[in-house]
Amino acid sequence: MNEKILVIDDEEDILKLLSSALGSEGYEVVTAIDGQEGVERFHETEPDLIVTDVKMPRKDGLQLLKEIKDAGSTNVDVIILTGHSDEATAIDCLRNGAYDYLVKPLEDIDVLLAAVERSLQKRNLEIKNRRLMKQLEEMAIRDPLTGLYNFRHLQTCLDEEVIRSKRYGHTFCTLMLDIDRFKAVNDKYGHLFGDHVLKKLSEISGRSTRSADRIFRYGGEEFIVIMPETSREEAVSAAERLMEAVRSHAFECDGYETKITVSMGGSLFPDQSEDKIELIRLADKALYRAKESGRDRAVFGDGELG
Ligand code: GH3
Ligand code: MG
Ligand code: MG
């Protein structure tokens, strides 16, 4: 896709000259005849770069630059065109975040084209870097097999949830979930089938919980669900819904098919625990009791859930 350049100048001849030079380089050109119209066009067309005159009626180049930077558009570079007598203003523009300035009349249009090319290359690189940073940040908090949040992110989210709960006086719930007799599934159908079950189970968990709930892969075949602003009763029905969704699903892969069940241990903050360590320890203990008492069930802190 061609990059879009917004050219702003109150002199029609210059506007035409720049448009045709940039257009013949393959850029998409949008024009405006003063700073006021420039700001409007900027919002309408979301250009990749702005080339603007400084001295213009209604709104000058410096005002335009400030408005655009204030709007949080740090992505878009602004190249300033200035007359000899306005160089002080042009420097003011540089101080306010302009990318470059060129003095009119332009002796050689190639000087402008080179500045445009440089700015767009820099911008593309910045966009690419930002995307990579975002991917890295995502990778740091996700489990690669299931795409769920990982153990490390659980610690961060629990800290946040504890603070929120204390501040607003809400109760939140932690559910620890463990697949029943998963070793046997691996032994019977193979490790790849087991991986498929883990992936499918994370999808089912996502579908069966509320959008505010967050799901983490805690360990091998153990997941944790954090349910913000959730009472014991709400957690009971959420756990039952999730267990039923798992029970009724036929896990299919590579010609094999099986059903599984899960056991769960739940704990509440602040009702049953004083900090995140105790919260997890209590959920773990409850999960152990769910396993001990026959699996395919949920135990909540000190009692049976459903
Ligand atoms: P229980 O009902 O007591 O939980 O029995 P279980 O067999 O599920 O428990 P156990 O702790 O004995 O076994 C857990 C199994 O989970 C063993 C391990 O191979 C399997 N597992 C852990 N992580 C993965 C994984 O990433 N992929 C696959 N396929 N299996 C995994
Ligand atoms: Mg298990
Ligand atoms: Mg386990």
Give tens-digit pLDDT for 84-116.
777 788 888 899 999 999 998 888 899 999 999
- Residue 302 has a pLDDT of 66
SS3 at position 102: strand
Residues 144-179 have pLDDT tens digits of 999 999 999 999 999 999 999 999 999 999 999 999
Among all bound ligands, the one having the nearest atom to the CA of 179 is 2
Among 135, 168, 202, which residue terminates a domain? 135
Residues 20-59 have pLDDT tens digits of 999 999 999 999 999 999 999 999 999 999 999 998 888 8
Bigger pLDDT: 70 or 147?
Answer: 147
Among 135, 167, 192, which residue terminates a domain? 135
Bigger pLDDT: 232 or 154?
Answer: 154
Q: Answer yes or no: is 160 within a domain.
A: yes
State the burial class of residue 38 (Cβ atoms within 10 Å of its Cβ: 0-12, 13-18, 19+).
buried
Residues 110-137 have pLDDT tens digits of 999 999 999 999 999 999 999 999 999 9
Q: How many domains does the chain have?
A: 2
CA dihedral sign of residues 56, 61, 67, 71: positive
Say whether both 205 and 73 belong to one domain: no
Say whether both 95 and 194 belong to one domain: no
Say whether both 125 and 174 belong to one domain: no
SS3 at position 62: helix
Q: Answer yes or no: is 187 within a domain.
A: yes
Q: Answer yes or no: is 104 within a domain.
A: yes
Say whether both 197 and 84 belong to one domain: no
pLDDT at 306 over 50: no
Say whether both 80 and 189 belong to one domain: no
221 catalytic per annotation: yes
What's the CATH number where 121 sits?
3.40.50.2300
Q: Tell how far the Cα of 156 is from the centroid of ligand 1, in angstroms.
A: 26
d(CA 136, CA 148): 15
Among 106, 135, 164, which residue terminates a domain? 135
Q: Answer yes or no: is 227 within a domain.
A: yes
Residues 173-223 have pLDDT tens digits of 999 999 999 999 999 999 999 999 999 999 999 999 999 999 999 999 999
Its domain, for residue 172, covers 151-300
What's the CATH number where 171 sits?
3.30.70.270
- Residue 74 has a pLDDT of 63
Find out whether the beta carbon of 220 lies less than 6 Å from any atom of ligand 1.
yes
- Number of neighbours of residue 135 by Cβ within 10 angstroms: 10
d(CA 286, CA 304): 9
Q: Answer yes or no: is 35 within a domain.
A: yes
Q: Answer yes or no: is 124 within a domain.
A: yes
CB 179 within 8 A of CB 260: yes
Pull the structure tokens for residue 109.
């249009």
Say whether both 203 and 292 belong to one domain: yes
Find out whether the beta carbon of 181 lies less than 6 Å from any atom of ligand 1.
yes
Q: Tell how far the Cα of 179 is from the centroid of ligand 2, in angstroms.
A: 4
Give residue 70's pLDDT band: very low, low, confident or very high (50, 70, 90): confident
Q: Answer yes or no: is 142 within a domain.
A: no
Q: Answer yes or no: is 204 within a domain.
A: yes
Sheet of 77-82, strand order: 28-32, 4-8, 49-53, 77-82, 100-103
Say whether both 88 and 222 belong to one domain: no
